[in-house]
Amino acid sequence: MSWTDERVELLKKMWGEGQSASQIAKELGGVTRNAVIGKVHRLGLSNRSTGGGASSETAKTEAKAKPAAAKPKAEAKPKAKPAAEPAAAPAAAARPAVMPARKAIIPAGQPLPPQPSANEISPEALAKVSEVEKKAKKLSLLELTERTCKWPVGDPATEDFWFCGLPVQAGKPYCEAHVGVAFQPMSSRRDRRR
DNA sequence: CCCTGATTCGC
DNA sequence: GCGAATCAGG
């Protein structure tokens, strides 16, 4: 498998949506997540904050030891926009030309409501939670393990209290549904050193 | 053990 | 340029 335009495009799209490398790899097929990550890096879109802010947190407890590796800050985005540019309503009101910034025009696709919401739990996530709680294992505190969702349900002061107990996803304390309401944001894993 | 992304390095 | 191996961490 090679990185055709289409595949790269899908990669960019999914990565932009915050999909994990493994998910992207699975979707693409024929590649491993390593390949995806490698490509992501080569494309220079490893981190999604390009907004000009020079926010490279690499200075931590670094006494000395500086790898001094060549780090090309590849930027320069080609202008080619393959497709999906509505460009509708050109005859509308004149553009003030004082656009604050390039506000991405939403292609009006079907599944794309990733509006930059600050902190707001999606109704879907909440719905998923209540749905999940129905089939929760209702574990007691002592029954919790490393791999059981520790989301509390009910009032601890009463006997009507239990923990979700569903299998957790990855090192998180909750199952997928509860992780969804516990924290919104993207995968936050930072810090790299060597 | 599951997963995540990051980096290295031989190809 | 590519990606498996490896690393580092949740």
Mean pLDDT over the full length of chain A: 64
- What is the extent of the structural domain holding A178? 119-193
In a domain, A87, yes or no: no
In a domain, A174, yes or no: yes
Clarify whether residues A4 and A73 are in a common domain: yes
User: Does any strand C atom come closer than 7 Å to the Cβ of A34?
Assistant: yes
Number of domains into which chain A is organized: 2
User: Does any strand C atom come closer than 7 Å to the Cβ of A145?
Assistant: no
Higher pLDDT, A151 or A147: A151
Which of A27, A62, A81 delimits the end of a domain? Answer: A81
Rounded, the Å distance between the CA of A160 and C1' of C4 is: 51
Clarify whether residues A8 and A54 are in a common domain: yes
In a domain, A111, yes or no: no
Residue A10 pLDDT class (50, 70, 90 cuts): very high
In a domain, A88, yes or no: no
Q: Where are the beta strands (DSSP E) in chain A?
A: 152-154, 161-163
Query: Residue A49: left if φ>0, alpha if ψ -120 to 50, beta else—which one?
Result: beta
Instruction: Flag whether pLDDT at A42 surpasses 80.
Output: yes
Q: Of all protein residues, which has its CA closest to the C1' atom of C7?
A: A194
Q: What is the DSSP string of A48-100?
A: S--SS-------SS--S------------------S------TTSSPP-S--S
Closest nucleotide C1' to the C-alpha of A33 = C3
- Gap between the Cα atoms of A157 and A119, Å rounded: 29
Nucleotides of C strand lying within 7 Å of any protein CB atom: 1-10
What pTM was estimated for this model as a whole?
0.44
User: Does any strand B atom come closer than 7 Å to the Cβ of A170?
Assistant: yes
User: Does any strand B atom come closer than 7 Å to the Cβ of A22?
Assistant: yes
In a domain, A113, yes or no: no
Amino acid letter at A133? E
